Structure 1
Amino acid sequence: MHPPRTQAVPPSAAADSARAEPEPESALSDELRAVRPGLLMPYAAELPGARAAVLTRLWRGLVYDPLPWIRRREPGRDGLTLHLADGRRLHGPHADPYATTAYVTELHLDGTAYASAPGLITALAVPGAAAFAAELHHSTASLALARANQPPDDGAWPTTAWQWEQRIVDGHPYHPNCRSRPGFSVAEQLAYAPEHRPVVALDLASLRRDDCLVTGEWPDRLRDGDRVLIPVHPWQSAHVLGKADRPTAREKIAAHPLMSLRTLAPASAAHGVTAHIKTALSARLTSSVRDISVYSIATSETVSAFADALSARLDGLLYITRTLGAVTADSPDLAAVLRESPETYAAPESGERVIPVAALATTSLPRSLAWLADFARLALAACLRLLDLGVALEAHGQNLLVVLSPANAPVRLVYRDLADIRISPARLARHGIPVPPLTGRLITDDDTALRRKLFGSLVAGALGATAGSAPALRGALSTAVRDLPRTPDLDALLTEPLPTKALTLMRLSPEASGDRWTTLPNLLTSPC
């Protein structure tokens, strides 16, 4: 069966697409002129770098994702050529799948240069291209806006955990939709996105207790007689909830948005809430719509208690934040989760600090191979031990945090957000661990699925992005694995291609549900 034939674009049209400023980028300029004119010049100055950053991420996907309209990939002295099903050729530099700096400034399609990801995808005209191009426009424009609105770097490290969260300006290190926020106006991005450092006023929806599913301990201060108060993101209130479900309580909770945008840290103990608040946000950010499934709420207490007990077996290497309470109005669009703060597992009085792994790249720490190897050893030791016991974490740079000593040595890990882990009853049983009473998507005994979940998030994601390049990651891993106990999972990591999500394929296949996967060359057995 042959791959579907792509539709060619006339060279003149392709050249015009490559030269013209994409409309969403100029549309964002028009909005900026109305709401924050002082950012117009910085935004324009950041656009070329944002285009290169998104184009670099797209090139990674084109090189490594199993796209049906790419017949073969041919390396040469001056780079890599992709041979398309319709006979065209796309040429670019040799690809480093772990690079986090923009090294692709243009790609050449049959001799025409493209300096922007949406322009290239439009010219490729493959199935799903139009919708993906629109997302890439949003990603490029929003990334330029994020970079334009940063304060001068004074070299000082943040003093609070939420400030660390807001240092991740560029979003997902490998996703072309790293900053795609369709449905958000410029004013809403400035008001709600963590990289813009706002304080968000969360609404409170007041619903009858009998109309809600509540698990765990929901605080008394978020109750009103026989009614439950559900924190609601203001974007959700404005754009998603129907009139009957819109918040009616007058009180609000001031909070700092964290990396995921929809999870926030209360600015004070208003309403007796100090835990992090995960809200439903029915917008597509990167790949997924960020609502909260009824399944997640129904299983949250059981999963949290199970994970908390299991982490006690890890000898202090890794702690898992507890889900304190969760509620849903029987709808993924109206739900909230209260989660323990990762700071619970650090001792600030002794000089310890908790940093999301994604924020490590904003420091000088990963530049030291010795430090990077120590961090990789800690992360692999903890997560492989947990995998052997029967749990695969989705340990990417947002969910995984590291506790640093006063000397900035990595001493322990903290993991948050249990909504998408995987649990193996067979592995638990081998270790004599009681299997939690759970069914559904969290449960699997498939070794491939378990290893994809962990290796794709931790190694191809968190460790790769912290290292920032294939040579740095290879050096750290080759040192770190020497001291790890051999298990079948470690053997797979050492010898098999590394699984990673096929992020570009997923956005070009919107009709397919669930994750799609590809593999990267194993750094310990072959060069990239």
Structure 2
Amino acid sequence: MERVDLIPPPAEAVAPADAAVADAVADACAVAPLLNCLLREVAEPLPESPAADGRALYRLPGTGRLLRVRGTRRPAEPEVRSAGAWRPLGHTELVKLVAEELRRHTGLSNHELPAEMIDSRDAVAALLAARARATPPTGLYLRSEQSLVTGHPHHPAPKARGGGPVAGWLPYAPEAYARFPLTLLAVREDTVVEEGDTSALDALGEAPPGYRLLPAHPWQLDLAGRELAPAFTDGRLLRLGTTTFEVWPTAAVRTLYAPGRDLFLKFSLDVRITNDVRRLWRHDLRKLRRTDAAATKAVEAVDGPAAWLSDLGYRTADFAFEELAVMVRDGLGGHVVPGATPLLAAGLVEGFEGSPLHAAADPAAWWEAYLAAVVPPALAAFADHGVVLEAHLQNTLVAVDADGMPVQAVFRDAEGVKLLPDVERAAGWERLVYCLVVNHLTEIAAALAERHPGFEPWPAARRELARHDLPEVRALLTAPTLPGKTNLLLRWTGADGADARYLPLPNPLAG
């Protein structure tokens, strides 16, 4: 098979007619994150690794088998030792190997996760074909949000879409450059449940007397159709048509952006995407106002341009509280530094046309500016206000100036925020270190180092962190390990999607 270079981006130039190449790229995109999980959470590196050909060698402790791979950030070309020879593994064979290893390693069986892994790979293939036919957004912000073909670099099935038919979800996939109108519903006034500022919803259309406007994601309605049928029959719900404008799905899939109105709306999808079923859960919505207020206060108090996109409120119906819930999030206007362009941090890692990370002529200066934008507000929110921002790649926007230099961090998503003392300080710090350092800074640093061989990102990261007089920071800079989330084992053992279990990873900050 022809070797396929995934970096970056993985599939911008794949023609739909070139089926063999498209198939190889889909396989490679799905293999990389699955290998990352296996190598981080289960495999044992062998001392003779890497070999002379640059491949790293591992032992799988459950089965005792030997595995070798090429590359580090996006490992590729896995081979397993069999009958005295090395045998290449495609994605399907790798899934079988991983499943067998985990059964031996944990003593548990799991038929759901291997199916999700296959679904994720098939979803990537569908996305690649759709991207080849579609036109990407012209603006860099939306292009960064819709760039995540590979997705979470340490999840075994980052692109799984619940196992449903492609036709059901592809029209709404950000990775396929989707945009579409919202469905407008009217919900009977006496059944409305809402908190916070939802006035932006009333401006989307006009509801008849005795009803309130309730926008819906078309996929959301498809998924909940059977449960909602009685409400449409008895008049608690009415269909009003669609909006006169289109919205763009962001990387979160269920959060949509209306550029003309500078408005984000987050919907409830009864689909597992990565670790969670992406509903707007009742218990999270009930905590929304308190959590958002704390995050708003914490970020606004930071000395510098950092910003928080507030989750202003939600609206739903009492007879379908989670199924119909929609949350209103503040837009970018008034938050982003004038003249700067916000970009999704996860998009910078994945790669997209026009990415300033790829264009950075001076990686050291770019990286120092990035650290100065992202690190201080996250640490100050924790130290001064007891707010643990979920500052990972997908919840952080980094605004860049006209020269592509980072000038501001914009954080979002109150649902993922934790407050002290709701969680113990040590647990909150561990979560912040995982989100900010392991999930976020490590990936940006690796992408920069890959673009600029010989560049060493960690001295600057140590200097930036050392500026903050926190006992936890001092301990972090000397700790031998960092907490790495075990997404593969979490999913295999059937842990709750919101659970977080960590294993120790070597700490590059310790020098």
Question: TM-score band (shorter)?
Answer: 0.7 to 0.9
Distance 2:172 2:373 in 1: 34
- Partner of residue 21, structure 2: 45
Taking a change above 3 Å as real, the CA distance of residues 379 and 262 of structure 1, as seen in their structure-2 partners, is: same
**For each residue in 1:403-433, what CA deviation from the matched residue of structure 2 results, as whole angstroms up to 9, or x when unmatched?**
11222221111111110111114xxxxxxxx
Task: From 394, 401, 404, give the equivalent of 1:405.
Answer: 401
Distance in 2 separating the partners of 1:194 and 1:157: 11
Change (3 A) 1:319 1:118: same
Structure 1 residues 480 and 81, CA gap change in structure 2 (3 angstroms): closer
Judging changes above 3 Å, is the alpha-carbon distance between structure 1 residues 495 and 332 closer, same or farther for their aligned structure 2 residues? farther
Q: 1:42 to 1:206 in 2, by over 3 A?
A: farther
Could you say what secondary structure the match of 1:308 adopts?
helix
What CA RMSD, in Å, does the superposition of the two structures yield over aligned residues?
A: 3.0
What secondary structure, in the 3-state scheme, does the structure 2 residue paired with 1:172 have? coil
3-state SS of 1:499 partner: strand
2:348 maps to 360
Partners of 1:344 and 1:407 lie apart in 2 by 21
* Match status 1:169 vs 2:153: no
- Is the CA contact (8 Å cut-off) linking 1:84 and 1:90 kept in structure 2? no
Match of 2:278 among 282, 285, 290: 290
User: Does residue 208 of structure 1 match 2:194?
Assistant: no
Retained in 2: the 8 A contact 1:464–1:470?
A: no
Aligned to 2:322: 332
- Match of residue 63 from structure 1: 39
Q: 2:94 aligns with which of 113, 120, 125?
A: 120
Counterparts of 1:226 and 1:153, CA distance in 2 = 42
1:320 paired to 2:304: no
Q: Which amino acid aligns with 2:176?
A: H
Determine the structure 2 residue equivalent to 1:107: 79
Q: What is the CA distance between 1:92 and its match in structure 2?
A: 1.7
Please tell me the residue identity of whatever aligns with 1:337: M
**Secondary structure in structure 1 of the residue aligned to 2:469:** coil
Q: CA deviation at 1:462?
A: 2.0
Aligned to 1:239: 223
Shift of 1:508: 0.9
The corresponding residue for 1:221 is: 203
Residues 377 and 481, structure 1, Cα contact 8 Å, conserved in 2: no
| Aligned mates of 2:149, 2:302 — CA distance in 1 | 33
Distance 2:330 2:19 in 1: 37
So what's the TM-score if we normalise by structure 1? 0.78
Q: Does 1:383 align with 2:378?
A: yes
Take 1:376 and 1:215, find their aligned partners in 2: how far apart are those partners? 36
* Most deviating of 283-292 and 258-267: 258-267
Distance 2:275 2:18 in 1: 28
**Paired residues for 1:121-160 under 5 Å:** 121-123=95-97, 124-125=99-100, 126=103, 127-150=108-131, 158-159=138-139
- Higher alpha-carbon deviation: 362-371 or 229-238: 362-371
- 2: distance between equivalents of 1:139 and 1:262? 17
Contact 1:294 1:328 (8 Å CA) reproduced: no
Contact 1:52–1:115, Cα closer than 8 Å, also in 2: no
CA distance in 2, matches of 1:39, 1:93: 27
1:188 to 168, 171, 179: 168
Q: Does the alignment pair 1:420 with 2:396?
A: no
Q: Please list the CA deviations of residues 86-133 of structure 1 after superposition, one character each: whole Å capped at 9, or x if unmatched.
A: x5313123774xx1xx33212315456352344223244323453222
Name the residue aligned to 2:11: none
Cα deviation, residue 457, structure 1: 1.6
AA at the equivalent of 1:205: L
Separation in 1, partners of 2:87, 2:456: 35
Q: Is the 8 A contact 2:36 2:75 kept in 1?
A: no
State the alpha-carbon separation in 1 of the partners of residues 111 and 365 from structure 2.
45
Q: Which amino acid aligns with 1:229?
A: L
Choose the corresponding residue for 2:366, options 368, 371, 393. Answer: 371
CA contact (8 A) 1:200 1:256 kept: yes
Question: One-letter code of the match for 2:487?
Answer: L
Residue 435 (structure 2) pairs with residue 450 (structure 1) = no
Measure the CA separation in 2 of the matches of 1:369 and 1:153. Answer: 36
TM (norm. structure 2) is 0.81
Paired residue for 2:456, among 449, 456, 475?
Answer: 475
Indicate yes or no: 2:500 matched with 1:515.
yes
Q: CA deviation at 1:299?
A: 2.2
CA contact (8 A) 1:373 1:479 kept: yes
- Alignment check: 8 A CA contact 1:452 1:500 kept: no
8 A contact 2:392–2:435 mirrored in 1: yes
CA contact (8 A) 2:268 2:278 kept: yes
Q: Percent identity?
A: 25
Matched with 2:332 is 342
User: SS in structure 2 opposite 1:148?
Assistant: helix
- How far apart are 1:146 and its partner, in Å? 2.2
- What amino acid is aligned across from residue 283 of structure 2 in structure 1? Y
Unaligned runs of 5+ in 2: 2-13
Residue 305 of structure 1 corresponds to which residue in structure 2? Answer: 293
Residues 130/452 of structure 1: CA separation in 2 closer, same or farther (3 Å cut): same
Give the total of aligned pairs: 456
Shift of 1:44: 4.2
Equivalent position of 2:58 in the other structure: 81
Question: What is the Cα deviation at residue 450 of structure 1?
Answer: 1.0
